[in-house]
Copies of this chain bind each other. A is one copy, B any other.
């Protein structure tokens, strides 16, 4: 697949290979977010709203501080978009009965609908790529991406899912 005819210089090969990875990530993320971004604009929302809607939908009952740890942004940045989503009835807050300081977040019908719309687009893109690449490539894709993620957050992705070994 990767026809490197320069076997003479392994260092060059390595750098070229790594630069390709950098570029693949850039282009893939650019296009991966491009479609949702366009949809969000119609709602007066941006990518930050998308992230909140996605992770709240994925983890119903998640608290603000848990969300902050995932997004790695400041309380202010989250607060702005979150309060907007609550105000416009995309997201609901209810007090945790165990610890009444906590606000448990969940999607309201409007939020669920938008979440589905956005996730559907992204899923379709991934599904197509997965289908074309085959199961073995998919495993490789997952493995490498996990390796790129900071160690402390790797568990976030594979614990929840089919990757139960």
A136 contact set on B, CB distance < 8 A? 136, 140
Cα-based distance from A162 to B14 in the complex (angstroms): 9
- Shortest C-beta distance, A120 to chain B (Å), equals 10
The secondary-structure label for the interface of chain A is: helix
Q: Judge if A117 is at the interface, Cβ distance under 8 Å.
A: no
Residue interface mask A126-165, B partner, CB < 8 A = 1: 1111101110111111111111111001001111111110
Q: Does A75 contact B (CB under 8 A)?
A: no
Please tell me if A15 contacts chain B, counting CB pairs below 8 Å: yes
Question: How many residues does chain A have at the interface if contact means C-beta atoms less than 8 Å apart?
Answer: 67
Q: Are A142 and B19 in contact (CB under 8 A)?
A: no
Q: Give bound CA distance, A1 to B161, whole Å.
A: 10
A43 close to B (CB within 8 Å): no
Q: Which one of B13, B22, B128, B139 contacts A1 once the chains associate, using CB atoms below 8 Å?
A: B139
The yes or no answer to A59 lying at the interface (CB within 8 A) is yes
A94 is an interface residue with CB less than 8 A from chain B: no
Other than A31-B149, A140-B141, give 11 A-B pairs with Cβ distance below 8 A: A1-B139, A17-B130, A20-B160, A22-B54, A27-B153, A28-B145, A31-B150, A136-B136, A137-B139, A137-B140, A137-B144
What are some 12 contacts across the A-B interface (CB < 8 A)? A1-B159, A2-B59, A2-B142, A4-B160, A4-B161, A18-B127, A23-B156, A24-B149, A31-B148, A130-B147, A134-B143, A138-B144
